[in-house]
């Protein structure tokens, strides 16, 4: 394949990927308006779902935000009973973040709404098309 064809394919992939990401991000924000969390709070809960008991610094690194920004975010989330900070058993100077039941419930409700949106998008898709989309995203994830 020539560089010209590769470049045209890459241009097309980038455009499609950008448009899909933009649409999903916009719909994701719309979905969150039905819940009592903000997009950054949703992101924090997703990260904490994968790895509970992170420190503020570790969560800051995962979110690519300053510690002070994450501290403010956690203050609001703690006030809304989504999570709590717990002193580390080995080092009392360190606080770890623990998601509370309400945090898990809200996250589950948001993810269910997002999955419903995705299922509506693919309502007319065949099982084979769904498998192609799933495999394509799996391939993409290996490169990220």
And the tokens for 93?
Answer: 């100077």
pTM of the model: 0.85
pLDDT recorded at residue 2 = 61
Averaged pLDDT for residues 35-54: 95
Q: Confirm if 81 and 102 have CB atoms less than 8 A apart.
A: yes
Count Cα atoms within 13 angstroms, Cβ side, for 66.
3
And the tokens for 15?
Answer: 């455009």
Q: Quick count: other Cβ atoms within 10 Å of Cβ 102? A: 14
pLDDT digit string, tens, across residues 106-125: 999 999 999 999 999 999 99
Report the C-alpha gap between 70 and 41 in whole angstroms. Answer: 9
pLDDT digit string, tens, across residues 78-109: 999 999 999 988 998 999 999 999 999 999 99
Q: How many residues comprise the chain?
A: 144
C-alpha distances (whole Å) from 98 to each of 21, 54, 110 are 30, 8, 19
Phi and psi, residue 75, nearest 5°: -55, -45
Q: Report the topology of domain 36-143.
A: Arc Repressor Mutant, subunit A (1.10.10)
């Amino acid at each position: 394949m020539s560089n010209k064809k590769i470049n045209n394919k890459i241009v097309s992939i980038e455009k499609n990927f950008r448009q899909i990401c933009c649409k999903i991000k916009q719909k994701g924000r719309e979905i969150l308006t039905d819940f009592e969390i903000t997009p950054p709070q949703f992101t924090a809960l997703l990260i904490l779902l994968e790895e509970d008991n992170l420190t503020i610094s570790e969560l800051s690194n995962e979110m690519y935000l300053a510690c002070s920004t994450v501290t403010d975010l956690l203050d609001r989330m703690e006030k809304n009973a989504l999570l709590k900070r717990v002193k580390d058993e080995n080092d009392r100077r360190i606080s770890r973040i623990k998601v509370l039941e309400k945090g898990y419930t809200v996250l589950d409700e948001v993810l269910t709404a997002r999955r419903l949106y995705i299922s509506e998008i693919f309502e007319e898709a065949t099982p084979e098309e769904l498998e192609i989309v799933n495999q394509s995203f799996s391939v993409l994830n290996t490169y990220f």
